[in-house]
Amino acid sequence: MFRLSSYNRIYLTYKYPQYIHYNEKNEFEIVRNSSVHYNATDYVTVQKLFHLAKPNVHYFYNHIYNSLVIEDSNTMKRILYLYFRVQRFKMAFSKFIHIVRMKISKQYNQHNLSYIPFSNRTISIYENKRIYTFDDLELYKMIESCFNYELYDIPDILSLKNPYTNIPFSFHNLIYIHFQLLQYGKVSKFFILYFKHNFKKNTLLDQYQVHLYVNCLTRTFSQFTDQKKEQLLMHMIRIHPRYRTFLNIDNQHLHYLFGSVVRYFYIYRNLKRNDIDNGSTYLDIYEHKFKTKLEHVYKTNPMLGRKYFTKTIDGNFKSHIDQNIMGL
């Protein structure tokens, strides 16, 4: 047993030596409980934190937050006081070590991933005994791409990897990246949720599968060509017989009227086709978004797209299509 093998042990050995069973030679000793300064609550708390193999948050969750044994408020206050002192030391000491490492370690890259000089907003990460520096925007884009992946219409979360080593960033660096990006105003919705779920992929996927899938669909739609978007627009109108006369007007008018809601139709169609979130509010939201637009145009322009026949001077009939748009 090494007394100084963790942050907890370093702090407790020097602040509460009367409760430590190991001397400077790491030999086991009996703790004297006859001292006037001896406190049983402190002794038990020190022993638990001294021998804790998991992060301190596990102790807090199991022995403080979910404690069913401790009912006395004074006892709980004493435990909390000791716990927070240990945590404060741990955070301060680990921050000090990080600063030292950033000072003495070698810089790996002198430019960003595009071989362009760094901007004024950079994030330096210590990993594998080297310092890797990224522009805040390129790191933000790397994070966003982790939530844009789906395979056979099943969303997945990719690990955020160091592009220079292709190795996933360590857990503590994910936390560091999260707070650094927040300081620069780069807020990634799913990365915040990822952080709140302790960077557990399965937990996030279970709770936000539909949201992640919609995010993937939105990303996919943004990469479609104009021709592909036009095909979706035509399909949106074609499957709703009430609005089929809209197909008679030219493409320029169609895009002007419905170009902004094609994305909602694409998301709705895929959710319904793959039976994801079928019949729920989320599906209804996207159906409502594009159908509201179709219905509004139809009611304000009931003759839009209809064919008219007029008789010419020579007695023949000539057709034309009503493309006058009103009330928008």
Over residues 41-87, the pLDDT tens digits come to 888 888 888 888 888 877 777 777 777 666 667 888 888 888 899 99
7 contacts 93 by C-beta, under 8 angstroms: yes
Q: Answer whether residue 246 is part of any domain.
A: yes
Q: Answer whether residue 273 is part of any domain.
A: yes
Q: Answer whether residue 208 is part of any domain.
A: no
Are 181 and 239 members of one domain? no
Range of the domain at 193: 122-197
Q: Answer whether residue 213 is part of any domain.
A: no
Question: Is the Cα torsion angle 131, 137, 138, 143 positive or negative in sign?
Answer: positive
The pair of three-digit structure tokens given for residue 231, joined into one six-digit string: 């095909």
| Parallel, antiparallel or unpaired: strands 149-151 and 154-156 | antiparallel
The pair of three-digit structure tokens given for residue 138, joined into one six-digit string: 């390129």
Q: What is the DSSP letter of 166?
A: T
Task: Inform me whether the pLDDT recorded for 286 exceeds 70.
Answer: yes
DSSP 93-123: HHHHHHHHHHHHSEE--SS-TTS----S-EE
93 Cβ contact list (under 8 Å, min separation 6): 7, 10
Q: Answer whether residue 211 is part of any domain.
A: no
Q: What's the pLDDT tens digit per position in 257-266?
A: 888 899 999 9
Are 99 and 147 members of one domain? no
Q: How far apart are CA 3 and CA 225, in angstroms?
A: 64
Tell me the average pLDDT of the chain. Answer: 84
226 contacts 294 by C-beta, under 8 angstroms: no
* pLDDT given at position 8: 85
181 confidence band (pLDDT: 50, 70, 90): very high
* pLDDT given at position 1: 46
Number of Cβ within 10 Å of residue 43's Cβ equals 15
Q: Answer whether residue 214 is part of any domain.
A: no
